[in-house]
Every structure is written in C-alpha cells, then in structure tokens.
C-alpha cells in the first residue's frame, strides 16, 4: 500500500505544538533543541506556551515565527515516525509545508531547510508590511467562477487578485489587494470568509520577497529527493533538483494547486495519506477531494504516532 506523507502550512499552528513529542521521544527533543539553538529567538517557548500563553499565541501567528515552528514540529515528528519504520512513497506539503516535504525526502538538509523557512517567513512578513493585502476563503463556488471573478476584479483597476490555494472542490482561497479581493468576493456566488493573515500570500504582492528568497536558496544544496515530491506550482511529481529550486521561487506568487496534487498522487498509487505535524487540516482536504483512500493523522502527539504505526 503506497503511503503519501503530507506536511501542513500556516494556519495549522497552535500553542503546545510539539511539547508532548519533546517530552516523550529523545529524537524529537534533539531535533527541536537543534532548531532553538540555530535561531535568535526562543522558538520552543513560543511553541510550548511558556510564560504568557496569550502572548505566545499572538507571536506564533506572526509569519516569521509560524513558518519555522511548523517546520520544526513536522521534522521532529518525522524522525520519530522514521524510527518506528514509517517512510513515505511520495510527499507533498501545503505552501510552507513544501519545505518540510523536501526535507523529509532528503532534497534539503534539516539545517538548510530551517534556514530557508526562517528567512522566507521574515521576507513574507516584510512584503505584507510594504504592500498590505487580503485573503479570503471562497466556499461553494466552482473553480472557473472564482477565476473569472478574479480576472474581472483585477481588470477593474483596483489592484490585483488571484486564486492562491486550490484546497479542495468548492474551497478556494483568493489573495491580492484589499479592494480587488473585496470586488471579487462580491461577484462570486459562494460564501466568502476573510482570513486573518499578515499578507497576501501566493500573489504578486509577495514580489518584494523574491530577491531575498533567491539569495538564501542560492546558498543551499538541493539534492535529488529519495521519493517523488508533488509540487505546489505544478501539482506534478519531480525528483529534479533544478526544477525544485525553480518552483520554490515561483511558489511565492503562484497558486498552491493542492487538490490537483492530491488527485495526481492518488492516480500514481497513493492509498494512504498521513498528515505529519500540527493539526488535521490536510486530512479534511483529502477527504473532500478523494474517495476510497485512507487518511491518518500521524504526528501531532505520541498517541497519533502510535495510531499511525498500527494502521
């Protein structure tokens, strides 16, 4: 039975993430401590909610902290799963989670991946400050209708808006300038939910981050992954280091084609989808997109790891 490992992105974080893994598994503790030692912020204190829990929760929502925290949690869980004999046949990650997936597949070293996601988070936060935007989840509308509304709103001259995440059938996130996002949502026959984000991710409003991300990616080694990585930008599998590097750059301003990637993974033989890291968002998207597959919440807590091993 082929197993796909899926890695979450922003929105899956929560105070307390990784703490049980840290307490129970020496390998997870070592990996999380290595993250803390490599950064100039006490990331574990934010993740575990030490001190003022409300303050930790607010800081953990900030992009520059969210991204390394999610990466650290996923990779800490991964090392425990690997010790228990679970390894993926294919991997994918949602937005930030693509870096976790690449590290899981050996395309990025753990240390290089951490360095890139920390810088990526900083750059995306800065881009959001320089050019504030908005994102909204559109529920119950067809892809083509959302795309057409975005095109019309962008052509109206109030800024740009485009699909940012094709999450599941009937669930698309749009992103761009505030006025353009508002105009697009008014034109769509579906429910629109504004998202509490610090920037218009996966849209041209992230252009400011491009050069800085290119600089840090140029300074790391991208190796051939041990298994296929299904890319956000194309929804297609690859084991080509140069394509991975190129698509990571494109991913900043391009839509995450998550539903399309899930369909391709199933077509390529995936029968089990194991979510590695915080939350259970990706399991829900799998269930909304695919029939006749198994979903497993694999690594948020020791209990979930045990259940994944026994599945």
Single out the catalytic residue among 74, 94, 198, 202: 202
Q: Tell me whether residue 95 is one of the annotated catalytic residues.
A: yes
Q: Please pick, among 12, 73, 94, 95, the residue that the annotation labels catalytic.
A: 95
Instruction: Report the alpha-carbon distance of residue 2 to residue 104 in Å, rounded.
Output: 16
Whether 202 is catalytic: yes
The token pair at 202 is 């996966």
- What is the 8-class DSSP label of residue 256? B
DSSP secondary structure string, 169-190? TTEEEEEE-HHHHHHHHHHSSS
Q: How far apart are CA 241 and CA 233, in angstroms?
A: 15
- Beta-strand pair 229-230/237-238: antiparallel
Q: Where are the beta strands (DSSP E) in the chain?
A: 2-7, 90-93, 134-139, 161-168, 171-176, 191-194, 229-230, 237-238, 270-275, 294-297
Handedness of CA 296, 301, 305, 307 (dihedral sign): negative
Cα separation, 167 vs 175, in Å, equals 13
The catalytic residue positions are: 95, 202
């Amino acid at each position: 039975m082929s197993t796909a490992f899926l890695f979450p992105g922003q929105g899956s974080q929560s105070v307390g993430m990784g703490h049980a893994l840290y307490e129970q598994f020496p390998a997870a503790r070592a990996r999380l401590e290595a993250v803390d030692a490599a950064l100039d912020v006490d990331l574990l204190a934010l993740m575990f909610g030490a001190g003022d829990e409300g303050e930790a929760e607010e800081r953990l929502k900030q992009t520059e902290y969210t991204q390394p925290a999610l990466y650290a949690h996923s990779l800490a869980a991964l090392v425990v799963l690997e010790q228990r004999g679970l390894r993926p046949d294919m991997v994918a990650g949602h937005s930030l989670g693509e870096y976790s997936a690449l590290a899981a597949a050996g395309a990025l070293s753990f240390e290089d991946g951490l360095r890139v996601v920390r810088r990526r988070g900083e750059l995306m936060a800065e881009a959001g400050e320089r050019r504030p935007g908005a994102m909204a989840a559109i529920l119950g509308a067809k892809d083509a209708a959302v795309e057409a509304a975005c095109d019309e709103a962008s052509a109206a001259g109030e800024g740009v808006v485009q699909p940012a995440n094709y999450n599941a059938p009937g669930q698309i996130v749009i992103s761009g300038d505030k006025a353009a996002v508002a105009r697009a949502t008014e034109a769509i026959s579906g429910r629109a939910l504004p998202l509490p984000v610090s920037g218009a991710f996966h849209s041209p409003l992230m252009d400011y981050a491009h050069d800085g991300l290119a600089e840090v990616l140029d300074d790391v080694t991208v190796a051939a992954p041990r298994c296929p990585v299904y890319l956000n930008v194309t929804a297609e599998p690859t084991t080509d280091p140069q394509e991975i590097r190129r698509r990571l750059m494109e991913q900043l301003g391009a839509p995450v084609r998550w539903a399309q990637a899930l369909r391709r993974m199933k077509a390529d033989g995936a029968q089990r989808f194991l979510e590695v890291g915080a939350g259970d968002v990706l399991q829900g998207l799998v269930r909304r997109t695919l029939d006749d597959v198994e979903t497993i919440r694999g690594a948020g807590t020791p209990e979930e790891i045990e259940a994944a091993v026994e599945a």
